[in-house]
Amino acid sequence: MIGEVKILKPGFCTTIQDKGRFGFSKFGIPKSGAMDQMSYNFANLLLDNDEDDACIEWVLQPPVLQFLRPTIISLTGASVDAFLNDKPVEMYHQIRVFKNDVLNFSFCKNKMYGYVGVKSGFLTPIAFGSRSYYKSITNDYILRVNEYLEYYSTVKYREQFSTISAPMDDSNSGELSVYKGADFDTLSASQKSMLINSSFTVSKTISRMAIQLEEKIPNSIASILTSPVLPGTVQLTPSGALIVLMRDCQTTGGYPRVLQLTESAINSIAQMRMGEKINFRIVN
Amino acid sequence: MKYELQYKRYSEKTILIEWPSGIDKNTLHDLLLYKKSIESFYDKLIVEVVVGYNSLLVLYTLAIEDIYSSIFELKSIYDSKNENVVLKNKLWKIPVCYSLSLASDLKEFSESKSLTIDEVVTLHTTPFYTVYFIGFLPGFLYLGGLDSQLQMARKTTPSLSVKKGSVAIGGNQTGVYPIDSPGGWHVIGMSPIDFFKPSVEECCFISSGDVVQFISIEEQEYNAIKSDVISGKYIPKSISI
């Protein structure tokens, strides 16, 4: 039976996300998908869902949700105190939900992105193989107040004594594993050394498309012919600013690609707030 | 002809293949032939192959275990690829209205170039533009072949909203905005047709290697085509090449 969740408060830029779109770069369609894929995966694992079932992704300000039919949900990602009908519930657990239960949260304590998983995923329309919201690809691009989202309602619930412990918080180290970028070798020795040996600060310019870093690197290298880019590609702009492309990034770009974050580093930087320090460690 | 190619690991699941720098039709041909060979060799083992002016990015389904053997395999595919495969490409006739009422920057553009409006239109509609790839926005064509007399640096302050269908010039490139978007190019015309449809599986009717020619139309015809496009009756015109 189809259940619906009513969005009592949408939060700020709350979206539906899954693993993202694959195989459509040839049309210029971005990959999209959950910013922190690890937390997103945990949300589905806890519910024994398919690995690409859609979750709600909120950023900094969580939504308030009312589930109109029974189901099971999970909460992962950014740390928050969560309440079901004003009673505290735990993150990284299965949470049993009954008819008309209201899920709300206190303020977000750390990190950026939180995930609400539901048994069998949210059933928003699929566009190009994914439910991930993206303006011009999906009809909706943010959740709105009093909107309803569908899911398969279930009353089946098996008491679970095992839990997944929340992943170790390693974001304090700030060390991001990277590959040398496609254009790394066009950098001078001193530029390379700055990139590898200095620490950088996450700026206030943060979105699902890109994260800009505060510190600049003196830049005299030329732009490149427009070439493929991916989430995690670090571009060096003519002004010397470093831009880390994120999940909603364009498929091609013309700035030199100096580094490429590993998949786990993309998940880490996604959860960092303005002012947090990072440094890059090259892996082979 | 064979090029000296460079192979680099790009990420866990991707390898970048680079041709010598330059926007060149022969490079494009070689790159598209190679892309086809890679796709048919690997089939489901790759997600896709992304095209740039002088590069291909191969996205594998799984993480690459041994980068050297993967590159070795790619090199042997390049060496054994069939040079005689004919790529089926099309020439598309794209209607564009260069009326001042629809082209917000045309007057200023022609004045700063010391050209008449008619001269701008002739210079823009004469070339056969090669479609190198699609990127930037869903359905945005990277075209080569703009007349050097029409080249103009991008605006220093981008416009917050460039309308869907805007035909524009930025640097040595020209293109059509497939959706409303911020943009720094100079808008010199408006095309009534859809370059990107989010509702259909074949969302872009043009692909890499195709050729585009812009055809100047009057505002009346623009409106007629526009309403055909909206009602789904319009079929883009093409010739096989």
Domains and CATH numbers, chain B: 6-80 (3.30.1360.40), 90-240 (2.40.100.10)
CA–CA gap between residue A113 and residue B77 (Å, rounded):
42
Structural contact between residues A99 and A68, judged by C-beta atoms closer than 8 angstroms = yes
**Residue A165 in contact with partner chain B when CB distance is under 8 A:** no
- Reported as half-sphere exposure (CB side, CA atoms, 13 A), residue B122 has a value of 5
Min Cα separation A259/chain B (Å): 9
Confidence (pTM): 0.93
Contact across the interface for B140 and A28, Cβ inside 8 Å: yes
Residues of chain A with CATH 2.40.100.10: 175-282
Amino acid at B106: L
Give the number of residues written for chain A: 284
B125 exposure class (CB count in 10 Å sphere: 0-12, 13-18, 19+): middle
Query: Is residue B116 over pLDDT 60?
Result: yes
Cβ burial A254-281 (10 Å sphere, 16+ → b, else e): bbbbbbbbbbebbbbbbbbeeeeebebe
pLDDT of residue A158: 77
Contact across the interface for B135 and A262, Cβ inside 8 Å: no
Average the pLDDT over B206-222 and give the result.
96
pLDDT of residue B204: 92
Structural contact between residues B183 and B191, judged by C-beta atoms closer than 8 angstroms = no
Q: Hunting for tokens 């996604």 — which residue is that?
A: A270
ipTM tops 0.90: yes
CA–CA gap between residue B104 and residue B187 (Å, rounded):
6
Residues of chain A below pLDDT 70: 160-172
**Residue A221 in contact with partner chain B when CB distance is under 8 A:** no
CA–CA gap between residue A211 and residue A232 (Å, rounded):
10
**In terms of CA atoms, which chain A residue is nearest residue B179?**
A136
**In terms of CA atoms, which chain A residue is nearest residue B8?**
A182
> Each residue of A114-153: pLDDT tens digit?
999 999 999 999 999 999 999 989 999 999 999 999 999 9
Q: Looking at the domain A175-282, which fold is it?
A: Cyclophilin (2.40.100)
A76 exposure class (CB count in 10 Å sphere: 0-12, 13-18, 19+): buried
Comparing CB atoms, the residue among A136, A230, A252 nearest residue B14 is A230
Planar angle of CA B195, A52, A230, nearest 5 degrees: 50
**In terms of CA atoms, which chain B residue is nearest residue A284?**
B9
pLDDT of residue A161: 62
DSSP 8-state assignment for residue A126: P
Q: Which residues, 6 or more positions from A201, have their beta carbon under 8 angstroms from its beta carbon?
A: A213, A214, A215, A275, A276, A277, A278
Q: Which residues, 6 or more positions from A211, have their beta carbon under 8 angstroms from its beta carbon?
A: A202, A203, A205, A243, A244, A246, A269, A270, A272
Average the pLDDT over B64-68 and give the result.
95
> Each residue of B151-210: pLDDT tens digit?
998 887 778 889 999 999 998 889 999 999 888 899 999 999 999 988 766 789 999 999
pLDDT of residue B219: 97
pLDDT of residue B157: 79
Query: Closest Cα to residue B187, out of B205, B162, B204, B207?
Result: B162
> Each residue of B25-41: pLDDT tens digit?
999 999 999 999 999 99
